[in-house]
Structures are given as C-alpha cells and as structure tokens.
Chain A
C-alpha cells in the first residue's frame, strides 16, 4: 500500500506524513513547555506528579488545578478557532474571513450578556448553549442583510456592521443591568481561571465538531473553488453549506463560552498552514487544528510570562502578533487563498 492514499502523486503523500509528524512533535513540546513554565518554579518531575498523583503536594495540585486546565483550554480553543477560520475562508473564498467576520463571535458575546443580565443562575451548560444560539443568531443576521449568496465584499461589510451592533447591545445590557464587569471578565479573561468542570462541558462539543469538519473536508476543498464548479462536480451545495455552517457555529460559540473573544487566530493560522500543506482542506483542517492549538499555547505562555507574576491579557498578545500578519495578507492580496 502506498502512502498516496488520497492525494495526487506519491511523493507528496510521504511529505505530508512527515509534515504532520513534525507539527505534532512541535505541538507536544509546546504543550509540555506551557505546563512546566510559569510564575511558580516547577520541574518536569512536578508535572509528572501532577498528572499521575495530583494530591501529593502543593506544586502538583497547582499544576493540576491551574496550569493543566489552562493548557487544555488553549489547545481546544486554538484548534476550534483555527479550524472555524479555515472553514470560513474556504466557504466564502475570502482570505480575510474568520469567525469574527460573520457575526459569530459578536452574537455569542451578546448572548453572554443576556445570560448574565436575565439568567444569572444559569448553569455553565446553559451558558454554552446560549453562546451557540447567539453565534447562530449573529451570523444569520449577517447573511440576512449581506446577501443571499456569499459575496465576499457584502459579507465583510454586513459582518462589520452587525458585529458592532451586537457588541453595542452587549455593552448596553451590561451597563443597564450592571453586569458589564462580569461580561468583560469573561470575554477578556482568556484562558485564565478555566476549570476542569468547564472543560468537561465544552471539550466534547469542540472535539465532535472538529471530527465532523475533518469528515467534510473534501467537500470543503471542492466548495472552495467556486459554487459553479462544485455543482458541476455533483456537490449538494445546500447540504454541505448547512453542515459546515453548524460546525462553525459550534466551534466559535464554544470558544467564546470558554475564553471569550479572540480575534486573529482563526484568520492567521489557516494562512500559515496553507503555505505549509497546500490548498487541500483534507490537510488544511487537521493541520490548522494542530497549528491553532500550538499557537494558543505559545501565546498564553507568553501572556503569563512577559510580566510575571502579573497576567498580560492573551488577547493583547495575540493581537500584537496578529495585526502585522493581517496587514501583510492585505498587502499580498487575495491570491493567498
């Protein structure tokens, strides 16, 4: 059996295997690094203790209760955002697309404000679901106003307008019902204070959505060419788009529920990944997951270390790295997709 299973050319199949192995090793190394490094002095031995017997000493407990959940949160959110961004870029054929663009993030954010104001006793599960509904609502507004079809330009404009509106709504609710502090603690907090309880609820959603996304990746490759070509090749457009849309809602909604708003990750990672694995979404999606996870771990570690023992918001770290990249893509033009 050759390694070119699903790819044109045998050599490429081999290279792809190497690339994924390499990426995975870097990811594991980053994860271990993120757990070992921190404001408190810890060693590899402590980490090992934390995983095997978290109750043995204080350091091990700290690692198990604070750093590990935080690391896992970075992994799932990074993967979710990067894959959501890659799907958005493929579906809309817009190189600047990310979950923030079509009102998903803003919608989930507004849903959080509503939950804090009107259902303060909601469980975490209910809040997560509110984020899904909010994300879906936000993006449906954008598509309702934007256009029937995915005209990139209209979507960008409508997305910006609706997002601004939804953020204003969230802020208004926050001010009137005096919950703005809670909302901003949640949305700007990054991975800080993530608990195992939250992870147990959110992670299954993200994993399930990611698997679904990988399963649909070939359809996305065909869709990313053009709708006419996709129909000509026998793709059931409406069905595929609906499935992908739900995947993106779950990924983006779950991310907001867990860590709040993180721009740039969903936009930046797929571009980096494309220059590494090419244009086939069967490779872009899994590689985006690995890349997004690695990037978030890295960014969060920097956020913890740059001004230790004080936290720097991870949003700021991501933005500092993301903005130049954004400008670079804009300058380079649309051929990046």
Chain B
C-alpha cells in the first residue's frame, strides 16, 4: 500500500458529480501526472486529495488515516499544494512569501526560529530564487514567480507536493525549467510529486506514473507506455494520435493527431451540454 490513495472517492458540486467513485493509488517517491480533457475532474481530484474541497463519498487515505479526520495543520506538514493561479498581495517580498511555508510549524504570533530561517534559505537556494529574496513577488517574471511558489511549498518540508498545472502561462523554456526543478526534487530528495498537466508530452516525459481521466473516472493509469497509446487517447480526448518516441528521452510522445471525424459532431454536442451545465456551478465554487 502506498502512503496516499483514494477509495471510491466521489466529489460533486450540488447535483453534478465531478469525480465519480474513483480509486487511485499514488506511488511513493514518484512523479505522478494526471491528464484529461477540460472538465474531466482532474483538478477537482487534486483538490479533494488535498482537502481544499470536501468529498461526498469514499475516502482519501494518507498514512492509514482518512484526511478528513486528520488535523489540517498536521496535514500541512505532510503535503503541500501549489494552486493553479496562486496570487500574492502586492508588495510582498519573495523572502516573506517563502517564510509563510513555515506556517504549519508555527504557533501564536509566528516568530521565525533559527531553524525556520535555515529551511527558508535552503528552499530559496534549491529553487534558484535566493538572489531575489528581497524583491517584491510582483516584479518577477512568470517563471521566477512559479519557482518562488514552489520554494514556499518546499519550505513546508512535506514529502508530498501537489501542483495544479504548474506550467500554465509560462513560455516553453520556463515550463521546462519548472518541470526539471520538480524532477530534481524527486530524484535527489525522494519527494512524491503529483501534478495535473495539460501538455501530454510533458506529462509523459516527466512522469513515472500517469493517470488519464475522463468524466470523473480513470480511463487508464500506469506507466507512460501504458497510458500514451492511441487507444487511450482516442477514448479520453477523442483524438486519433500518432505515438512515437522522444529521440532524446526515449519516452512516448504524441507526434501528431487529428480529431476523430465521425465522432466530431457528437463530441461537440456533448461538449456544449457539458459546458453549459458545468459553468454556473464552477463559478460559484471559484
């Protein structure tokens, strides 16, 4: 049994079921990526696993205990979350933001100890953000900012780190920079990393374990080779994909793809129904 898994987990907003009786095991000390079309429930799954939203049925188990029964501060010492678009108040400095990562360990007025300072500096160092320690977070580029948020998550000193689309809004070089940083953290420090990624090839390239989702259910979970197949992608994304090998990393990659013609109308139609149905709920939740 891994440290973290879900059992028959269901999450919904009102009547609508977003995650449907989903059982998934997150392998320890590995990188897990979750892929799937918009609205498939991948972000919701991530939020339910990190107690940001409550689930209706089933359970999320961490270290043999349901997270809903665990003290939230204790959980924050075991898992860190980087939300999709984290925002910080204007004028906040990098050092201050990263120091908030120590929050789960603090009491009272929140005085930083020597050990806190050491951890903060280490987190800044390892993410390559120590040079702008005293700069305001606003003044940084997207890639730098994302690294600072990762530094905050690292300062939490958790074994498990969740990231919801950590590469959104970044250019290609910065995307890779962030993903390589996470890979290094995984290799060198054995941290378990779970992230939602939009880009299939990146998901395959960095993952030890992949989860493909659709309509709140898992279509396929396993190694990249098991998930990055034309069959799975056809089913999950309604695309006809050509899968090859990345000549440099030797990981499976989607070289090119077409929309599946015969199904196109059907896909569009269900998408419409889907979006008009989902949107009002999602907006409330935001």
- Chain A residues with CB under 8 Å of chain B are 4-9, 147-149, 151, 215, 218, 221-222, 224-229, 231-236, 274, 278-280, 282, 335-337
Contact = CB atoms under 8 A, between A and B. Distances in A.
Interface string B59-102: 00000000000001111110011110011111111011011110
A196 B86 CA distance: 49
B104 A279 contact: no
Contacts of B104: 233-234
Interface of B: 47, 50-52, 72-77, 80-83, 86-93, 95-96, 98-101, 103-104, 106, 109-112, 120, 133-134, 138, 156, 284-286
A7 B97 CA distance: 11
Contacts of B284: 147-149
B109 A6 contact: yes
B73 A279 contact: no
Given A8-B120, A9-B133, 8 more contacts: A9-B134, A147-B284, A218-B103, A225-B88, A231-B72, A232-B50, A233-B100, A233-B156
A337 B87 CA distance: 11
A229 B96 contact: no
A282 B111 CA distance: 11
Nearest to B120: A8
Contact of B81 (A7, A232, A282): A232
Contacts, number: 100
12 contacts: A148-B284, A215-B109, A218-B106, A222-B100, A222-B103, A225-B100, A227-B52, A231-B50, A233-B156, A234-B75, A274-B91, A335-B138
Contacts of B88: 225, 279
Main secondary structure of the interface of A (DSSP, over half): loop
Contact of B76 (A224, A234, A278): A234
Nearest to B286: A151
B41 to A, nearest CB: 17
Nearest to B71: A234
Contacts of A235: 72, 103
Nearest to B76: A234
Contacts of B92: 278-279
B83 A229 contact: yes
Contacts of B103: 218, 222, 233-235
A305 to B, nearest CB: 36
B111 A5 contact: yes
A204 B212 CA distance: 59
A233 B47 CA distance: 14
Contacts of B47: 228
Nearest to B99: A8
Contact of A232 (B83, B96, B110, B120): B83
Contacts of B100: 221-222, 225, 233
Nearest to B82: A232
Contacts of A9: 93, 95, 133-134
Q: Which 7 A-B pairs have the closest CB atoms?
A: A234-B76, A232-B81, A234-B73, A234-B104, A8-B95, A228-B83, A279-B89
Given A234-B72, A234-B73, A6 B90 contact: no
Contacts of A227: 52
Contacts of B51: 231
A335 B139 CA distance: 12
Contacts of B111: 5-6
Given A233-B76, A234-B73, A234-B76, A8 B86 contact: no
Contacts of A8: 93, 95-96, 98-99, 112, 120
Nearest to B81: A232
Contacts of A231: 50-52, 72, 81
